[in-house]
């Protein structure tokens, strides 16, 4: 059963030229990450220090979640709050004290910075330090920026996780640390696979609870579950941890190579690897091939959005038979993405950053069967007759590892099927 995945015939995209663009870009800001992070960390609270725009974004991005007992809020700073910065700090102290008084379940409080110049002037790191001292040991207060000036939407998670790294105690234990907020059910599946391989102890950042804290040190082996965690990876490396570079666990191939990288680092035998992975691999292959019927031979164009674009293009081209025309990504982090680029068949334009009007022109000229883009571009492109997939869904939907491989392919197949049905109805 042992199978090595063949590199692409043209030698992959490691050395392919990259079109670098630095124009206007259309993406959500890093505050969006709060929507999935707050579900992952039930004892955490995210206090956005921002404007009414930030509050509206969170409410609309979180949708129905706002009606549940919320674990995020916005401390709205008006011009008047900044008559003096001392007043703004006092106001923040008051809001935090009231919040913690009302909500003793909060163990981790994140002060999340945003764009308004009033907020930028505040030193939230100092505020977090002061508030941590005031509310220790029950509550730890940390800060990061979700500002749209500094972050695209998945960078919010990176900034949040990176903020937690300096707090981790030191250890010499040989442990595997998986980094990235996965839905609980997916994390459990991953742990079951690693358990089957005999790899452990396995730590996950972020932890579900503050009390699940673990150490980091030179014997920590770090593997990323998401490609957008470059700052967190850098912070862990500064603590001595070693990175296991691997393709991301999307699709059957990505999952197998991700697990194999870990297995090799932890000395798992090939026979045990095959024993543990052969059944879920077969299930994943069957599920992907069912969904891939609608994708095979079709073309795809990615606008830069979530930083998932290159791993997803690898999955769609190698497992679903699609042809990538352009793969745009907000950042091309080579340390993380080289294993992906090695697998990606050559041919597509690789672009980093964005100049949205120019990219729209390229997209229209390329006339792809499917365009993966942000919400702001999807509706106008649909109105022009193009099939689109909202990139944000790929972050909110469980898509990692073997059991989700079929669902991942279905996410791309659905808009093509819908468009084919509409065309048929139109003709009838
Ligand atoms: S882009 Fe800036 S102002 Fe707008 S919601 Fe995000 S952080 Fe707030």
Is 54 part of any known ligand binding site?
Answer: yes
pLDDT at 181: 96
Residue partners of 265: CB distance under 8 A and separation at least 6: 176, 221, 244
CB 51 within 8 A of CB 76: yes
Whether omega before 206 lies within 30 degrees of 0, making that bond cis, reads yes
Using the 3D structure, point to which of 114, 131, 151 is the last residue of a domain: 151
CB 306 within 8 A of CB 153: yes
Residue 117 sits in a domain whose CATH number is: 3.40.50.1980
Using the 3D structure, point to which of 95, 130, 151 is the last residue of a domain: 151
pLDDT at 116: 80
Cα dihedral across residues 300, 388, 398, 405: positive or negative: negative
pLDDT at 117: 78
Specify if 138 maps to a domain.
Answer: yes
H-helix or E-strand containing 75?
strand 72-76
Whether ligand 1 lies within 6 angstroms of the CB of 54 is answered as: yes
Closest residue CA from atom 3 of ligand 1: 115
How many angstroms separate the alpha carbon of residue 158 from the centre of ligand 1? 17
Beta-strand relationship, 175-179 and 108-113: unpaired
Closest residue CA from atom 1 of ligand 1: 148
Specify if 85 maps to a domain.
Answer: yes
| Residue 311: alpha-carbon gap to chain centroid | 12
Range of the domain at 371: 18-25+286-427
How many angstroms separate the alpha carbon of residue 24 from the centre of ligand 1? 16
Give me the residues paired with residue 241 across strands. none
How many angstroms separate the alpha carbon of residue 164 from the centre of ligand 1? 22
**∠ CA(40), CA(303), CA(153), 5° rounding?**
30
Q: Report d(CA 166, CA 139) in Å as an integer.
A: 16
pLDDT at 59: 78
pLDDT at 82: 47
pLDDT at 373: 94
CB 382 within 8 A of CB 391: no
Q: Report d(CA 305, CA 311) in Å as an integer.
A: 13
Whether ligand 1 lies within 6 angstroms of the CB of 295 is answered as: no
Beta-carbon-side half-sphere exposure of residue 294 (alpha carbons within 13 Å):
20
Q: Report d(CA 217, CA 175) in Å as an integer.
A: 9
Token code pair at residue 400: 């990692």
Specify if 174 maps to a domain.
Answer: no
Task: Give the position, in ligand 1's atom list, of the atom nearest the Cα of 30.
Answer: 6
Whether ligand 1 lies within 6 angstroms of the CB of 59 is answered as: no
pLDDT at 68: 43
CB 119 within 8 A of CB 50: yes
CB 344 within 8 A of CB 313: yes
DSSP symbol at 420:
H
Q: How many CB atoms lie within 10 A of CB 77?
A: 21
Whether ligand 1 lies within 6 angstroms of the CB of 115 is answered as: yes
Using the 3D structure, point to which of 151, 171, 200 is the last residue of a domain: 151
How many angstroms separate the alpha carbon of residue 115 from the centre of ligand 1? 5
Is 13 part of any known ligand binding site?
Answer: no
pLDDT at 313: 98
pLDDT tens digit at each of 428 positions of the chain: 556 688 888 779 999 999 999 887 777 889 989 988 988 999 999 999 888 888 888 877 766 444 444 677 777 665 555 455 657 788 889 889 999 999 999 999 999 999 887 778 888 999 999 999 999 999 999 999 999 888 888 999 999 999 999 999 999 999 999 999 999 999 999 999 999 999 999 999 999 999 998 999 999 999 999 999 999 999 999 999 999 999 999 999 999 999 999 999 999 999 999 999 999 999 999 999 999 999 999 999 999 999 999 999 999 999 999 999 999 999 999 999 999 999 999 999 999 998 999 999 999 999 999 999 988 899 999 999 999 998 888 888 999 999 999 999 999 999 999 888 887 777 76
Whether ligand 1 lies within 6 angstroms of the CB of 373 is answered as: no
Q: How many CB atoms lie within 10 A of CB 286?
A: 12
Please tell me the total count of domains within the chain.
Answer: 2
pLDDT at 257: 98
Specify if 280 maps to a domain.
Answer: no
Token code pair at residue 337: 């993405």
Cα distances (angstroms) measured from residue 298 to each of 27, 121, 393: 26, 49, 21
Q: Report d(CA 218, CA 239) in Å as an integer.
A: 7
pLDDT at 26: 72
Closest residue CA from atom 8 of ligand 1: 54
Specify if 302 maps to a domain.
Answer: yes
Q: Which of 54, 113, 374 to mutate to test the pocket of ligand 1 (most atoms within 8 A of CB)?
A: 54
How many angstroms separate the alpha carbon of residue 232 from the centre of ligand 1? 22
The alpha carbon torsion through 89, 94, 96, 101 (nearest 10 deg) reads 160
DSSP symbol at 170:
B
Task: Give the position, in ligand 1's atom list, of the atom nearest the Cα of 114.
Answer: 7
How many angstroms separate the alpha carbon of residue 28 from the centre of ligand 1? 8
Whether ligand 1 lies within 6 angstroms of the CB of 27 is answered as: no
Whether ligand 1 lies within 6 angstroms of the CB of 31 is answered as: yes
3-state secondary structure of 264: helix
Report which of 42, 89, 84 is spatially closest to residue 210, judged by C-alpha positions: 42
How many angstroms separate the alpha carbon of residue 56 from the centre of ligand 1? 9
How many angstroms separate the alpha carbon of residue 52 from the centre of ligand 1? 9
pTM listed for this prediction: 0.93
Whether ligand 1 lies within 6 angstroms of the CB of 148 is answered as: yes
Specify if 279 maps to a domain.
Answer: no
């Amino acid at each position: 059963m042992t199978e090595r995945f063949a590199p692409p015939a043209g030698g992959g995209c490691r050395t392919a030229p990259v079109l670098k663009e630095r124009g206007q870009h259309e993406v959500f800001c890093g505050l969006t990450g709060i929507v999935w992070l707050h579900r992952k960390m039930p004892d955490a609270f995210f206090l956005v220090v921002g404007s009414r725009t930030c509050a509206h974004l969170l409410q609309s991005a979180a949708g129905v979640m706002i009606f549940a007992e919320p674990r995020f809020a916005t401390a709205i700073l008006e011009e008047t709050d900044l008559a003096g910065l001392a007043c703004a700090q006092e106001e923040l102290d008051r809001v935090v004290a009231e919040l913690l008084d009302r909500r003793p379940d909060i163990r981790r409080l994140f002060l999340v910075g945003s764009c308004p110049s009033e907020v930028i002037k505040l030193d939230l790191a100092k505020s977090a330090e002061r508030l941590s001292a005031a509310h220790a040991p029950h509550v730890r207060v940390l800060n990061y920026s979700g500002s749209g000036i500094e972050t695209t939407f998945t960078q919010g998670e990176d900034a949040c996780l990176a903020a937690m790294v300096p707090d981790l105690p030191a250890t010499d234990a040989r442990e595997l640390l998986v980094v990235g907020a996965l839905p609980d059910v997916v994390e459990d599946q991953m742990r079951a696979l690693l358990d089957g391989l005999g790899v452990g102890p396995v730590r996950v950042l972020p932890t579900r609870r503050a009390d699940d804290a673990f150490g980091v040190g030179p014997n920590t082996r770090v593997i990323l579950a998401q490609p957008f965690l470059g700052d967190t990876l850098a912070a862990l490396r500064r603590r001595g941890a070693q990175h296991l570079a691997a393709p991301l666990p999307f699709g059957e191939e990505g999952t197998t190579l991700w697990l194999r990288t870990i297995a090799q680092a932890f000395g798992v035998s090939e026979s045990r690897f095959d024993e543990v992975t052969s059944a879920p691999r077969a299930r994943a292959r069957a599920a992907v091939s069912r969904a891939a019927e609608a994708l095979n031979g079709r073309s795809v164009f990615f606008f830069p959005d979530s930083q998932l674009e290159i791993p997803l293009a690898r999955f769609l081209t190698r497992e679903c038979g699609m042809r990538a025309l352009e793969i745009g990504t907000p950042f091309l982090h080579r340390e993380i993405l080289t294993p992906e680029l090695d697998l990606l068949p050559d041919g597509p334009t690789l672009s980093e950053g964005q100049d949205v009007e120019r990219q729209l022109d390229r997209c229209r000229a390329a006339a792809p069967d499917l365009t993966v883009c942000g919400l702001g571009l999807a509706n106008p492109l649909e109105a022009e007759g193009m099939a689109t997939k909202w990139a944000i869904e790929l972050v909110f939907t469980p898509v990692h590892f073997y059991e989700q491989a079929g669902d991942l392919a279905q996410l791309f197949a659905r808009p093509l099927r819908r468009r084919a049905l509409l065309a048929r109805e139109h003709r009838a």
